[in-house]
């Protein structure tokens, strides 16, 4: 009897050709594209965590919603995060989550999670450029701009 195993297939499909990818030059650029792609019906109700995937020129390859949680928190599985980052061959990422309360401050848990992701990313030579907290009115808090990244 032959041994049988599952076949693994990894894919990433571009819908927008590379020359048209938007370049991120600042936290403001990142916040605008992320807020534009956030569901305005849930941004003030439910916390979500997304990752902005970038190429070596800081051009946006895509946005992936990693999790959607409750009113005050959402769970992040680093294995899924890095599966997406590696599958898309991204070399840099910008982390983001929303605070439905409108509070523009990083919690201790937010800072710890960011450091954990940054340390893991370093093993793969992936740069964590920023972590943004976005609130329902479109304002944001940047970890990089506030020197806590």
CATH of the domain at 87: 3.40.140.10
Q: pLDDT averaged over the chain?
A: 90
What average pLDDT does the segment 42-49 reach?
Answer: 88
Q: What is the pLDDT of residue 110?
A: 94
Question: Could you report the per-residue pLDDT of 11-22, keeping only the tens digit for each?
Answer: 667 776 666 678
What does the block give as tokens for 133?
A: 């907290």
Question: Is 20 domain-assigned?
Answer: no
Q: Could you give the count of Cα atoms lying within 13 Å of 68 in the half-sphere of its Cβ? A: 9
Question: Is 18 domain-assigned?
Answer: no
What average pLDDT does the segment 73-84 reach?
Answer: 92
Q: What residues pair up with 93 in beta bridges, in sequence order?
A: 53, 128
For the whole model, what pTM was predicted?
0.88
Find how far residue 19's CA is from the centre of its chain.
Answer: 22
Question: Is 80 domain-assigned?
Answer: yes
CA neighbor of 53 nearest in space, from 17, 27, 19, 91: 91
Question: Is 37 domain-assigned?
Answer: yes
Provide the number of structural domains found in the chain: 1
Question: Is 113 domain-assigned?
Answer: yes
Task: Give the structural domain span for 54.
Answer: 27-142
Question: Is 17 domain-assigned?
Answer: no
Question: Is 21 domain-assigned?
Answer: no
Question: Is 50 domain-assigned?
Answer: yes
Q: What is the pLDDT of residue 132?
A: 97
């Amino acid at each position: 009897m032959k041994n049988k195993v599952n076949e693994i297939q990894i894919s990433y499909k571009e819908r927008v050709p590379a020359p048209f990818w938007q370049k991120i030059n600042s936290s403001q650029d990142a916040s605008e594209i992320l807020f534009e792609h956030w569901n305005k019906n849930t941004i003030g109700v439910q916390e979500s965590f997304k990752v902005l995937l970038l190429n070596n020129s800081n051009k946006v390859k895509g946005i992936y919603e990693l999790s959607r949680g409750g009113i005050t928190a959402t769970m992040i599985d680093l294995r899924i995060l890095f599966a997406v980052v590696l599958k898309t061959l991204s070399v840099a990422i910008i982390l983001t989550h929303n605070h439905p309360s409108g509070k523009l401050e990083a919690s201790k848990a937010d800072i710890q999670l960011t450091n954990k992701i940054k340390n893991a990313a370093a093993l793969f030579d992936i740069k964590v450029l920023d972590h943004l907290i976005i609130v329902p009115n479109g304002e944001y808090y940047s970890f990089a701009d506030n020197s806590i990244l």
